[in-house]
Each structure stands twice: as C-alpha cells, then as structure tokens.
Amino acid sequence: MLKRFAFGRRQAASLEPPSETAPQRAETAARPSVGTAPLRPHVDSDGVRRALPKALWEGKHGDMLRGLGMSPDDPTNLMPTSEGIKARLEALREEQENFIARVNANLPFDIRVLPWAMLPHGLWAREHGGFLLAMEFYAVDPWNTMLLGADQVSALSLGLPEHPRGVPKELEDAANKVIGGLRAKLDEAHKRTTQALARNEISALDDFANAHAEARRELVKVAFYFGVTLFGEKVFERHRQLFAATLGWVPPPK
C-alpha cells in the first residue's frame, strides 16, 4: 500500500490550495487582509511594490488601517520580489524532487512515476504568468500535479497513462484564455476595492479578500478541468484514488 507522503508545506483537503496553517487562517479571518495579490501593484517612491500604496496610509485613511492592525510594510501588503519568487521556485522544485523520490521508493518492483503539471509550465512564461505568481500559484505545486507512469510498464501497472512529456498547444492556449478571464475579474475587484478605500469604506478589504479566495478556487478547478480534458474522467478518478491523499487535493465539486 502506498504511504501518504506530504508534498511540500501546503497540505489540503479542500479545493483551495493550502497556503496557511490552521492558526494562520484563524488569525487572517480575524482581520481584513491587505495582501491578497493585487494584479498591478503600485510602485512606491522607495521602489517597493505594495498592495495598498504608501500614500493611502497617510492621514485619516492610514489611521483607520492602522486601527485594524495593518501597516504599509506588513508582509501581506508587500508584493514578492523577483529574488523571492526565484527562491520559492527553487525550494518547490527541490521539494517536488524529494517527494517523487519518496513515492517511487515506496512503489513495488521498478514502477516509477513522474510529475505532470495540469496547468502547463509554459503558462508562467506567458502574459498572465505574473498574475499566477502574484497569486502564489506555481506549476510544481501539489494542487497542479498529477503523478503519471514514467514508462509504459509503470503506466500499465498503475492503470494510468504514461507521462506525455509534452502538452498540446491548444490545451495551453485554452488554459491561458481562461486564466486571462479570471485575472480580468480580479483586476476589476481590485479596482473597486481601491476606489472604495478612498471613500473610507474599509469593508471593501473583506470583499476583495473573498474575491481573491474565489479566484484561487477557480484556478484549482481550471487545473483539474484540464487534467480531465486531456486524460478523461476515468483516468482522473483512478489517479485520485491512488494519489489524491498523497498530493493533498480532492477533485472539484460537480
């Protein structure tokens, strides 16, 4: 029987990719979040990209925001730097390599699996790649990973496809279009939030946090949808039975 390894620090039993521990989720729920990935963050005079620009923290607006326990340099208000993203990607790749090694070591005989990204790696190099990174969605994260046979014998033994070693261009193009729609929707929510905050409507932070969480759920659904589209529902269900608990995700609701 397969052991249930945890891939990386993110573990979940729900559609939303796990990005916080339970205590962190409780703390986040207790106050509005300012760090829910603005899609075109403002660059302040100090060269730092912030979800809510420094100018918004001046005067009465700043007093209200600080009264809610926030600050302009709160980590949740700072956008990740290119160095931080690179370090995160390197750490995730290393985690995935170690995870696959543990899974393969637990499989019988010479059966081996390889990770396959449901939302293809190429998407992160296209026009919405910055959006995915701002959302802290990475191609190698567990929520985006299927484990497929590394060779024909492994595939037949597992009852799964052999790793395709590539992605149909039409699939990547279709996924890119859907992601663009999600980005536009969240862009509009961010615009409404900024305008509402200028009118002292602090409750708009909650509205944007909800819109952000929904966008994350939708991205996971899109990933699973393309997994089903390429391999079929029967294969996807077989994979779910074998590896969903190991990866820490469940299929989207009907």
Rounded Cα gap, residues 104 and 113, in angstroms: 7
H helices of 48-168, where?
A: 59-67, 82-106, 129-134, 152-158
**In sequence order, which residues have a C-beta less than 8 Å from that of residue 65 and are 6 or more positions away?**
34, 52, 56, 57, 71, 202
Pairing outcome for strands 42-43 and 145-149: unpaired
- For residue 76, the model assigns a pLDDT of 66
Residue by residue, pLDDT tens for the chain (254 residues) are 344 434 443 333 233 333 333 323 323 333 333 334 444 556 776 667 776 777 777 767 677 777 767 777 776 676 667 787 888 889 999 999 999 999 999 999 899 999 999 999 999 999 999 899 888 899 998 989 999 999 999 999 999 999 999 888 999 999 999 999 999 999 999 899 888 888 888 888 888 889 989 999 999 999 999 999 999 999 999 999 999 988 886 554 44
Rounded Cα gap, residues 115 and 93, in angstroms: 11
Distances (CA, A) of 159 to 32, 109, 190, 198: 46, 15, 44, 56
Rounded Cα gap, residues 217 and 144, in angstroms: 12
Do the Cβ atoms of 45 and 162 come closer than 8 Å?
no
Residue ranges covered by each domain of the chain: 109-247
- For residue 9, the model assigns a pLDDT of 36
Rounded Cα gap, residues 214 and 15, in angstroms: 10
Rounded Cα gap, residues 175 and 136, in angstroms: 17
**At what angle are helices 233-247 and 204-231 packed, to 10 degrees?**
130
H or E element that contains 115: strand 113-117
Biggest CA-to-CA distance, the chain: 68
Rounded Cα gap, residues 155 and 162, in angstroms: 5
- For residue 41, the model assigns a pLDDT of 55
Do the Cβ atoms of 238 and 159 come closer than 8 Å?
yes
